[in-house]
Structure 1
Amino acid sequence: MNGRLLDGAVQFAISNENKVDTNLRMAIMKAYDREPNYQVFGPVKSRGRSAGIIIRNGYIVAQWGDVNRVDMTFSVTKSYLSTIAGLGLDEHLISSLDDKVKDYVQDDKFYGVHNEKISWRHLLTQSSDWSGCLFDFCDWADRPPKTGGIDEWKNRPLIEPGSQFEYNDVRVNLLAYSLLQVWRKPLPVVLKDKIMDPIQASTTWRWYGYENSWVNIDGVMTQSVSGGGHFGGGLFINTLDQARFGLLFLRKGKWKSKQLISPQWVEEVHKGSAPNKSYGLMWWTNRALELPGLSPDLYYADGFGGNYIVVDNEHDLVVAVRWLDSSKLGELMKLITNAIQEKK
């Protein structure tokens, strides 16, 4: 790689730090204050400063900031949650993503003509239009439309599952709840045993739910974790561990000599989906070239405040970046890929 250009990319990331308040409790209260009865029920931690790691051909070629600092990662958590579903397929706890969730989770969450149609794929692609409330949060209260009354939104006609993409953290938490019912053990334990320990991640990461998201699993009260930090909680993790997770996906689910998650799953997560080809199984894709000038095979985890894990198969590249200006990801990745020098 061209050292001068690589240094320029690092300086670009540092000088384009996200302006989100370092007091993240204040930041999310401000971001979601339109939502009716909005509350923070999970842990929140003030953020650090710009940090990142660039891995090329399996080597760390650049890093900046405090890469050991544990920070909230918000919706990057969704890509870890997606991985729990992939592991469930690998271990035959789930037969098919197109199976109806009601056949696995037989409680009132999936009762009714609409909700009983919902499949695992619908939850993973955020196209279920599930209707209901979970842990005192209702689907209609998450990112309500800016026009029209709440009552109108609450009573709207429901959309056929699988036909329309709609970003909704209550429904993501429903996926976490449903996977907990399948695994019958805390999802952080599954992640630790199956992924984080084998990739030699640190012991500093934590995955939280809410103070009211405890459920009875075979007589043991177990916390159902959240898929992000919208209401607090989610994954708190350092940049090095994020980079290791990204490298696992760049290597098609294989770490050293051990296949931790099937290559078929890794390929599936970034295909894009019928309702939104820029969104796969809780990973964002570049299939629609929304990041122009970059590979269509590039995909990434994306969290509030400018948290990213970028996997670029074409260039054998992983970038884990914290607190980047959210409008600058494409420009940063172009600077990094421009620094790559082909072998002569």
Structure 2
Amino acid sequence: MSPSAVPAAHGSTWNTIAPDEAGFDEARLAEAVAFAQAHDSPWPKSLFYPDGRYVGNVEWNESGPWSEIVGPVRGRGGPAGLVLKGGRIVAEWGDTARTDMTFSIAKSYLSVLAGLAVQDGLIADLDEPVGKSVPGPFFESARNAPITWRHLLQQSSEWQGEIFGKSDQVDHNRQIGPGADNSRKGQKRELNAPGSFYEYNDVRVNLLGYCLLQRFRRPLPDVLRARIMEPIGASSDWEWQGYETSFVEIDGQRMQSVPGGGHWGGGLFIGARDHARFGLLMAQGGAWGGRSLLSADWIAQMVAPSPTLSNYGFLWWLNRGPSAKAGVPASAYWALGAGTNVILVDPENDLVAVLRWIDGASFDPFLGKLYGAMA
């Protein structure tokens, strides 16, 4: 991708490209967009059901001692998104500037922050036990002492404990995706050796965020803003909110640790256009306007299949294995948040797509229509 394809800073005009010039059939691309617009997420706009239950608690069949909402929640907008080809907008719909909650897409932002920590030498070795560089009680037990940074990034740590009032047990037996059965979610199970078992566990991801905060010794939103979002020309509207229980003191300063999603409120509040810039940075191998912001080597590691789940890298989903999307290159990958919110990165086709609030069952059909529109 040429440097000229990098969009100017937020507030300036983002270059567009006609569908036929970008290699799309105009009518079929319009059909894909109309499909996304017509298939809104089933979640209530307030993110609370009429009986007062938070969507996350309903989505994940969660109740009991760890289900309290401890971070801010804001109502959502409607379906929105955009498609970039060569860094230029080929399609856009809905309110792409609205700073909505984005749920587990925040995990993929944490992965990028981990890459910056590696570049800065704050993480010397991904296979080193985290407890060697992160003080405190979280890795002192025999159970947790062997856990490495790689384990946390691949969601295979099997860490046991409580952080910010949430126990790892809350996500035991959790399933995600189509056909997920969460009837046993939260029921305590026997833990496996670190690195041997994959489990999607928000408490352990929140632990990773805390550990990165301990290494950077400054709030992660500040690091992200200075190192990534400002250089790529993102807006100033996005926020990354933590919990009322997640304040810590570092070097005499009170800071808030931020979570990897909106499971209990909080998380990343951001617009689709800012997501698109972030995805474009990934598609360009971490470079922006001739300047390397994130190591291309880190991105390669980030999207390598995990030994415990072939379609998962470092907090990014990969187009691999039985769940691979038909017609989408194996090299494509995406950030995914409940609701459904997606940043699709396809370096092979120089393509980035952002989806906000599409019905989860409509994600695969949308991709079929999008890729079917490419000549």
For residue 360 of structure 2, give the secondary structure of its aligned residue in structure 1.
coil
The Cα of 1:104 is off from its aligned counterpart by: 1.0
Provide, for residues 187-220 of structure 1, a one-character-per-residue CA deviation record: whole Å limited to 9, x for no partner: 0000000000000000000001100100011000
The answer to whether structure 1 residue 80 and structure 2 residue 80 are counterparts is: no
C-alpha contact (below 8 Å) 1:288/1:296 kept by paired residues: no
Structure 1 gaps, min length 5: none
Choose the corresponding residue for 2:279, options 223, 246, 250. 246
State how far apart, in whole Å, the 1-side matches of 2:351 and 2:158 are. Answer: 35
User: Which has the larger displacement, 15-24 or 274-283?
Assistant: 15-24
Report what 2:198 is aligned to: 165
Report what 2:19 is aligned to: none
Which residues of 2 match residues 2-151 of structure 1 at below 5 A?
2-25=25-48, 26-37=54-65, 38-142=67-171, 144=173
The aligned length equals 338
| Distance change in 2, residues 1:174/1:46 (3 Å) | same
| Distance change in 2, residues 1:115/1:303 (3 Å) | same
State how far apart, in whole Å, the 2-side matches of 1:335 and 1:254 are. Answer: 30
Q: TM-score, normalised by structure 1?
A: 0.95
Report what 2:304 is aligned to: 271
State how far apart, in whole Å, the 2-side matches of 1:69 and 1:208 are. Answer: 16
For residue 161 of structure 1, give the secondary structure of its aligned residue in structure 2.
coil
C-alpha contact (below 8 Å) 1:55/1:61 kept by paired residues: yes
State how far apart, in whole Å, the 1-side matches of 2:195 and 2:284 are. Answer: 30
The Cα of 1:31 is off from its aligned counterpart by: 2.5
C-alpha contact (below 8 Å) 1:289/1:296 kept by paired residues: no
Structure 2 gaps, min length 5: 1-23, 49-53, 175-181
Report what 1:304 is aligned to: 338
For residue 145 of structure 2, give the secondary structure of its aligned residue in structure 1.
helix
For residue 320 of structure 1, give the secondary structure of its aligned residue in structure 2.
strand
Provide, for residues 194-248 of structure 1, a one-character-per-residue CA deviation record: whole Å limited to 9, x for no partner: 0000000000000011001000110001000011000000000001000000000
The answer to whether structure 1 residue 324 and structure 2 residue 354 are counterparts is: no
State how far apart, in whole Å, the 2-side matches of 1:112 and 1:124 are. Answer: 20
C-alpha contact (below 8 Å) 1:76/1:307 kept by paired residues: yes
State how far apart, in whole Å, the 2-side matches of 1:220 and 1:149 are. Answer: 37
C-alpha contact (below 8 Å) 1:126/1:172 kept by paired residues: yes
The Cα of 1:29 is off from its aligned counterpart by: 3.5
What letter corresponds to residue 292 of structure 2 in structure 1? Q
The Cα of 1:292 is off from its aligned counterpart by: 2.4
State how far apart, in whole Å, the 1-side matches of 2:257 and 2:184 are. Answer: 33
Report what 1:217 is aligned to: 250
Report what 2:15 is aligned to: none
C-alpha contact (below 8 Å) 1:82/1:282 kept by paired residues: yes
State how far apart, in whole Å, the 1-side matches of 2:361 and 2:121 are. Answer: 40
| Distance change in 2, residues 1:310/1:133 (3 Å) | same
State how far apart, in whole Å, the 2-side matches of 1:273 and 1:332 are. Answer: 27
The Cα of 1:333 is off from its aligned counterpart by: 1.6
State how far apart, in whole Å, the 2-side matches of 1:124 and 1:325 are. Answer: 27
CA RMSD of aligned residues (A): 1.5
What letter corresponds to residue 145 of structure 2 in structure 1? E
C-alpha contact (below 8 Å) 1:315/1:337 kept by paired residues: no
The Cα of 1:108 is off from its aligned counterpart by: 0.6
| Distance change in 2, residues 1:310/1:147 (3 Å) | closer
What letter corresponds to residue 152 of structure 2 in structure 1? L
State how far apart, in whole Å, the 2-side matches of 1:240 and 1:185 are. Answer: 26
User: Which has the larger displacement, 280-289 or 70-79?
Assistant: 280-289
Provide, for residues 88-143 of structure 1, a one-character-per-residue CA deviation record: whole Å limited to 9, x for no partner: 01111111211110001121100111200100010010000100000110000235
Give percent identity, aligned residues only: 43
Provide, for residues 294-332 of structure 1, a one-character-per-residue CA deviation record: whole Å limited to 9, x for no partner: 211110000010100000122110001100111222221
| Distance change in 2, residues 1:306/1:23 (3 Å) | same
C-alpha contact (below 8 Å) 1:32/1:143 kept by paired residues: no
The answer to whether structure 1 residue 280 and structure 2 residue 313 are counterparts is: yes
